[in-house]
Amino acid sequence: MSTSVNDESARAAHDFLLELRHLVSPRVPTVPRACSLEQLLEARRLLAIDDSDPGHLRSAAGRIADKFRYGAGLEDALYPMLFELDRQIVERVATLTPAQVHSAGLVRSADFGDALSHIAAPTMNGTDRVLVVGFLDGLPAQHPLRSALSPDELFRFENSTVGVKLCLILGPYASVLVGKAMPRPFYTLESSLRVTANLRHQQRTQETLRNRQQAERDAAEERARLATEDPREARLRQLTQRVEELERAAQSR
């Protein structure tokens, strides 16, 4: 009896993925309880769910509905299926070790504990989107996310309370109608690394620009000072600098 039940469950999971791979009708398939985590993640990939999208499930439902030109009716029917898909993933991920979660290509928000915050990141249309960030020092010592990126590739989070912290940008908050916004239970590792890399690149570009502007201001101030400096004082300053250089050279021998 057990073997028969297992066979039926395996067939149900297989048929579910088959329907998604060859989606040629607007019929909404049901997510079988028998799906493994790998199968659920494969279903997400087939449905092209983008975790960097603030409304990732609704957007995916809309794209599929547009494919069949069935509009909002099909979108509303698809959304519960996508929600169930993610709910089952959350259920399975909850029992895994950090290493197993990492191997599955996921980031589990709970692993950061209270070491979470948020940033407002600019978008192409000029508005800001709020993104969840996780501080690396809030993770357990051997957590695989600590070495997923080099220190220079990690985003720098800074405020007056925590100072400067290295962090991974997880993605948007979970969609809520009422109440406090919370991080999603999980994000795909690929999406988190991609968003972190993009925003860290922007951050480095801004740092380079600020450094160049500061160097230009310093040079302008130095030129202005030299233009008004007494020649004898300038010569004395140059001799003093030269003596200091010679003393440092002698000490380093």
- Model confidence, pTM: 0.76
pLDDT in tens, 19-77: 776 665 566 778 888 889 999 999 899 888 999 888 899 888 888 878 766 656 778 88
pLDDT number for residue 5: 47
pLDDT number for residue 179: 66
- CB atoms < 10 A from the CB of 147, how many? 9
pLDDT in tens, 84-143: 999 999 999 999 999 999 999 999 999 999 999 999 887 766 667 889 999 999 999 999
pLDDT in tens, 140-191: 999 999 999 999 999 999 988 888 999 999 999 987 666 678 899 999 999 9
Strands (E), the chain: 106-108, 116-122, 128-135, 155-159, 163-172, 186-188
Residue owning tokens 């300053």: 237
Please report, in angstroms and rounded to a whole number, the separation of the first and last CA atoms in the chain. 85
| More confident: 219 or 73 | 219
Domain spans of the chain, in order of start: 2-95, 106-205
